[in-house]
Structure 1
Amino acid sequence: MDFDTAPIPSFNCGLDLSSLVVSSDLLHHSWNAISELRTDPRRNLGSSPAFLRYRETQVRNYRLIAFSASAKHLHGGGDLIPSSDVPEFRFICSKSNPDFSIDRAAMSLFDSARQDLSTLKAQVQDGAKSTAYLITGHSLGGSIASLFTLWLLDSLNPVTTKRPLCITYGSPLLGDCGFQQAISQYSAWNSCFLHAVHKDDHIPTIFPQTTYRPFGSYLFLSSSGMACFEAPTISELLERTKPERRDNMELVDFDYGPTVKYLRHNYVCKDTMKLSGRETDSYKAGIVLQLTAIGVLQNEQQHDSALMKWVDRSIVEPERMAITQKMETFNSAKKLNEVKVNMARMEWYRKTSENEGYYYYDDYKSKRLTRDYSVVMFKRTLTDYWEKLVKEVEKKPQKEEANLRNRWLYAGTNFRRMVEPLDIAEYYKVEGNEDYWTRGRLNCYRKLEKWLEEARRPEVNLATRKQNIKLSLTGDSCFWAHVEEAMKSCEAYNNGDRGRSVKRLEEFQGYVYGLVESYSVSPEIFIGNSSFMKWWKVYDEMDLKMDSKLVWFMRNRMYYKYREGRYDPMEDEE
């Protein structure tokens, strides 16, 4: 199996997931809190007290926060406000998804209660260190519950606090495609949202689905059963199950109480729905069973070829793709052991080459032995891992991106310094290749190096670097590209291109000695058969009379002292 490829799901677990939610009593307790809140006039929030209500209670081992706001305050056509006008939610932007829009009515209501919500947020931040939170809301209150949960997620430390779960009832769609992608691309946040909708509820379909898009998971409810689907299939299902509504019909909040009560007592699925024995696709069979459970399909319609084509195109394939992508979502912690094993193999390769009088860069470039070919697989696996990680990090909200970058900075730096030299070896092995930095360097190397610079970690002192020099990797992972370009400069000089070549060689010598002076280059570069020593032999025989610290260092063989951690630039200059 490929390193990051998840298997295609064979079974759909929507019915099992929906049964799990109902059997856990999460729906029962959350809807009860909403029902009690709607009849309690003392629980108003914000500058428009009739609009939004709030209630916090203790339920078993978690805290429950409920919001309620009437749908009559919604605008029938929908109106989106750009992310540039909602700076408090700009944190969900990422480099791959820089803009989004949120429903204006929901955002206005959120702003009207901002002071109270800020106080509540501070309380939850402190409480989430030891207590799980369930945040819920009905109708427009569900939109506020989603916004509050999202606002809260940005402020919680995922290491020391518990992420909340948000369950909404009959909530209208909240944002556009950019908003959907911003949340959906980060599975840790997307999994915090479960939206319950009834097929007879008008509110979830009030806004045009050409501009509004769903996120999270959806729990479809009906008087006959329930089903659970991922966001990509929701638009089609909402449109298919959309109740008829006259233009002048007043928006009325749907009562989920009877349905929740019924499902609570009947959550174990009885074998009253049967699939056609001709259905060989077990995943599709699970989808059809769910659609039948919520009344979108009838048993006899399972033989309707035109209807089944719609099921395939609009439900089965998007749902299967969403689940596959969810399974493929990069879990760096889970892959860490494999990464460590392959880094250990790379270290073994490096040391084995050194023991035989070669530097692993040159061994890999020449590929003289079987082990040189075996290491190709280790390198590819590591590179694929970090390329995928970097891409995933760039999709994440800004704060989460920074957290992940810092968490993996040390491992990423070691990978870059160990593996990039091998990519450089492959690049310059092709005759005519030059300027590796702009023509051959992978994005993951650029990003990992940039993140290290932005982290501004304190420098390791010189004494420590001298003490550990035998184990160290060269600080600049592009060192060997500089060596290869210096060799080309020597060739160009000997072929008559002297002015530019001399300048480049001067810069290269200053660059190398700067690494030597700070003990930032591996002593292995001075192994007799290394490409660097080959460059030095060519350069030392040229007719150049260039006086530099590196020339003095090399001609006096100070690298022997350097390899033992005994070289002191200040003493030798004196």
Structure 2
Amino acid sequence: MDSVRAAKPLFSDGLNLANLVVSSDILCDSWAAISAQIDGNHQSQSPSSSETVKIQEFEHPEYKIIAFVTPLVAASHLQEEADLVPSSSSEASEFQFLCSQDSQSFAINKAAISLFNALRDSKLSPLKAQLLMQVAKSSKSIPHIITGGCLGGSIASLFTLWLLRRLDSATKNRPLCITFGSPLIGDDGFQQAISQYSTWNSCFLHVAHMDDCFPRLFLLSTAEQSLYRPFGTFLLCSDLGGACFEAPDTIIELLTLMSRERNGGTADSQIFNYKSVIESLEQRLICKNHSAFSVLDADSFQAGINVQVAAIGLMQIQLQNMDSDALWRKIVMPEKDILERKNQALDPAKALNKMKVYLAYFEWYKNKCEDDGQGPGYYDSFKNKMFKRDHEVVKFKTELEMYWKAVVEEAEKRPQFPGAPLRSRWLFAGTNYRRMVEPLHIAEYCKLGNRSYISKGRSKHFKLLEQWLDEHQKQPRNSVPNNSKIKKITSSLTEDSCFWAHAEEARITCRLLNSGGSNSAEIKNLVDFEKYVMGLLKSCAVTSDIFLESSSYMQWWREYEDMLSKRLMGTSHNSELTRYMKDGEYHCYK
């Protein structure tokens, strides 16, 4: 049955998304905020002066709008400012946090970054501080819509990114940036840096009309393929309707087709008036006028894209200029790739509860191994695999490892912001996983006779989970939530997930010395291990299973005592750990 079952069809929802946006009133309210500030004399050939930029806040029952309005600027002037400023330059220093493992450099439009920097200290920094204070005061802060037209939209986008860096770990109500007729502001690296963090990419909606030349401006500035790339979601529209697209390649192709159809668009120094466009989209939604968009196609996804292309008034021109293969390659396939990646993408929130169930099984396994008080404990039980349960736990270990490797890899690729790359919920869950499961990785590694686990055998995702927890705990106490959860973790599991790696190295060293070796460095290593164990005992950072009679730690202790008695020839070794063990204090350790 499975072999003949048809693959689940994909459907493009760009038309429905556009209708949802139009029906929500946020487009109408956002454009009203911009147009309320536009002055017919508010015009300039050089928009670099911060004094001419207006910023206005508008209160609505469900959200607050912050509108950026810049002077009217000639398209020819912006074309002259089409140069890209690299992320390594001092001009782009505020956005170097976007650099990540997969996106190590990017570039931003010169006109946009210059105006942003001119506004940063005088207007943008106080505004950002105000918004952060509002979020800090209330966990139920209302959402913010940050908007702007033309170059004001570019500043709105940059400001939103600047704000997201601080807000991402503090609030679920992230700002929504809506631009109208904004030029593209970054290159491929800039687009990739934002799209790596899907929650950031979804914060941007760019509205572009066929008759507005500014969204296509930098696509026309070079004869070859443009260096500029779109990010976020684009609501492309015409007098016939509108539809949303997400794939950068699709958006560039459609913007280029728009340019060919309209041969320029708005006049120089003119901001396109989106009021009538929004009203037309609302009217079409109410009247459900989609008869002109009926396009038949055997492929459900391509049919949906055809409908969207028809909705923005480009069906006729694309049929004249493209065969079906070209249409698939340039417009349909990029959108399909985006949707398929979304469907395949790991959703940590949905999978986390399942991982918690697997960890609960590990708790059962750990307790079962310690039931009679004489067993070796779950570390040594798994290492020797004497029982059926030791083999059954392997599948849960594998599932957990795959999940957390994917979570850590995704977090590492994202643009970095203050604090841990993982939210507290995942950071504490990851810590619980690391402390519970890494000992089993150590057991497998050492069972094969390998040495130096920490430097040679330790997985990168364990190192990063530990590093991020350390960085999180070093933050000021009032900025670290849920400290009680940290205590809960440390009370049931040994804090240092590499404890058993240290114990295995100590056992090997003991055997070498017992066989006649006399390396002073090895003796020092054993003394250091004593101090390490005593430090864990004093801070109650190790669990009682290490003292089970058959555990590797107790085997080390007996071998260590034997080695000391031979070497000291009756002389007492009076270390703190020796006194602790000989006095039997560990029998009362909890």
Q: CA deviation at 1:373?
A: 2.0
Q: CA deviation at 1:181?
A: 2.2
**What do residues 28-62 of structure 1 show as CA deviations (whole Å, max 9, x unaligned)?**
23223333322366899998378534443334533
**Among 80, 84, 90, the residue aligned to 2:84:** 80
Distance 1:517 1:318, change over 3 A: same
**What do residues 138-174 of structure 1 show as CA deviations (whole Å, max 9, x unaligned)?**
1112112212222333344764573221111111111
Does the 8 A contact of 2:420 with 2:471 survive in 1?
A: no
Does the 8 A contact of 2:490 with 2:541 survive in 1?
A: no
Superposition pairs of residues 75-474 of structure 1, within 5 angstroms: 75-76=79-80, 78-83=82-87, 84-85=89-90, 86-94=92-100, 96-114=102-120, 115-126=122-133, 129=138, 130-156=141-167, 159=170, 162-208=173-219, 210-232=226-248, 233-243=250-260, 250=268, 252-267=270-285, 268=288, 270-277=290-297, 279=298, 281-298=299-316, 301=319, 307-356=323-372, 357-399=375-417, 402=420, 404=422, 406-431=424-449, 433-456=450-473, 472-474=492-494
Partner of 1:4: none
* CA distance in 2 between partners of 1:135 and 1:41 (Å): 24
* CA distance in 1 between partners of 2:284 and 2:276 (Å): 12
Bigger shift: residues 372-381 or 316-325? 316-325
Kindly indicate whether residue 68 of structure 2 is the aligned counterpart of residue 64 of structure 1: no
Partner of 2:504: 484
Bigger shift: residues 341-350 or 254-263? 254-263
Partner of 1:532: 553
**What do residues 107-154 of structure 1 show as CA deviations (whole Å, max 9, x unaligned)?**
222233341334444444455654332222211121122122223333
Does the 8 A contact of 2:69 with 2:152 survive in 1?
A: yes
Q: Which amino acid aligns with 2:428?
A: Y
Bigger shift: residues 540-549 or 191-200? 540-549
Does the 8 A contact of 1:197 with 1:219 survive in 2?
A: yes
**What do residues 486-511 of structure 1 show as CA deviations (whole Å, max 9, x unaligned)?**
33334434555542544443433343
Q: CA deviation at 1:354?
A: 0.6
Q: Secondary structure at the match of 2:292?
A: coil
Q: Which amino acid aligns with 1:75?
A: Q
Q: How many residues were matched structurally?
A: 546
Q: Secondary structure at the match of 2:494?
A: coil
Q: CA deviation at 1:269?
A: 5.0
Distance 1:334 1:106, change over 3 A: same
Partner of 1:11: 11
* CA distance in 2 between partners of 1:100 and 1:527 (Å): 56
* CA distance in 1 between partners of 2:168 and 2:78 (Å): 34
Q: Secondary structure at the match of 2:173?
A: coil
Q: CA deviation at 1:378?
A: 1.9
Q: CA deviation at 1:434?
A: 1.6
Does the 8 A contact of 2:48 with 2:115 survive in 1?
A: no
Q: Secondary structure at the match of 1:194?
A: strand
Q: CA deviation at 1:19?
A: 0.8
Does the 8 A contact of 1:427 with 1:440 survive in 2?
A: yes
* CA distance in 2 between partners of 1:75 and 1:213 (Å): 16
* CA distance in 2 between partners of 1:205 and 1:468 (Å): 55
Q: Which residues of structure 2 form unaligned runs of 5+?
A: 1-6, 220-224, 478-483
* CA distance in 1 between partners of 2:416 and 2:152 (Å): 27
Q: Secondary structure at the match of 1:253?
A: coil
* CA distance in 2 between partners of 1:174 and 1:497 (Å): 67
* CA distance in 2 between partners of 1:371 and 1:205 (Å): 63
* CA distance in 2 between partners of 1:470 and 1:257 (Å): 59
Partner of 1:30: 30
Superposition pairs of residues 555-570 of structure 1, within 5 angstroms: 556=582, 558=584, 561-565=585-589
Q: Which amino acid aligns with 1:212?
A: Y
Does the 8 A contact of 2:81 with 2:111 survive in 1?
A: no
Does the 8 A contact of 1:473 with 1:521 survive in 2?
A: yes
Distance 1:385 1:269, change over 3 A: farther
Does the 8 A contact of 1:509 with 1:548 survive in 2?
A: no
Does the 8 A contact of 2:439 with 2:498 survive in 1?
A: yes
TM-score, normalising length: structure 1: 0.84
Q: CA deviation at 1:476?
A: 1.6
**What do residues 192-241 of structure 1 show as CA deviations (whole Å, max 9, x unaligned)?**
11001123332222225642221111111122221111143322332343
**What do residues 501-538 of structure 1 show as CA deviations (whole Å, max 9, x unaligned)?**
44443433343333334433222112122122233344
Bigger shift: residues 382-391 or 89-98? 89-98
Q: CA deviation at 1:344?
A: 1.5
Partner of 2:567: 545
* CA distance in 2 between partners of 1:293 and 1:145 (Å): 28
* CA distance in 2 between partners of 1:49 and 1:366 (Å): 70
**What do residues 236-272 of structure 1 show as CA deviations (whole Å, max 9, x unaligned)?**
33234333758xx846433333332221100235233
Does the 8 A contact of 1:37 with 1:43 survive in 2?
A: no
* CA distance in 1 between partners of 2:333 and 2:516 (Å): 64
Q: Which residues of structure 1 form unaligned runs of 5+?
A: 1-6, 567-574
Does the 8 A contact of 1:187 with 1:326 survive in 2?
A: no
**What do residues 6-34 of structure 1 show as CA deviations (whole Å, max 9, x unaligned)?**
x9872211111011111222222322333
* CA distance in 2 between partners of 1:557 and 1:312 (Å): 78
Bigger shift: residues 446-455 or 41-50? 41-50
* CA distance in 1 between partners of 2:325 and 2:47 (Å): 49
* CA distance in 2 between partners of 1:239 and 1:565 (Å): 73
Q: CA deviation at 1:187?
A: 1.9
Q: Which amino acid aligns with 2:501?
A: A
* CA distance in 2 between partners of 1:119 and 1:453 (Å): 32
**What do residues 392-437 of structure 1 show as CA deviations (whole Å, max 9, x unaligned)?**
3223343365373555443332221111000011111224x22111
* CA distance in 2 between partners of 1:42 and 1:199 (Å): 25
Bigger shift: residues 256-265 or 47-56? 47-56
Aligned-CA RMSD value:
3.6
Q: CA deviation at 1:444?
A: 1.7
**What do residues 456-499 of structure 1 show as CA deviations (whole Å, max 9, x unaligned)?**
4699xxxx9xx999964222211111222233334434555542
Distance 1:19 1:449, change over 3 A: same
Does the 8 A contact of 1:9 with 1:320 survive in 2?
A: no
Q: CA deviation at 1:557?
A: 5.9
* CA distance in 2 between partners of 1:275 and 1:401 (Å): 50
* CA distance in 2 between partners of 1:532 and 1:134 (Å): 59
TM-score, normalising length: structure 2: 0.82
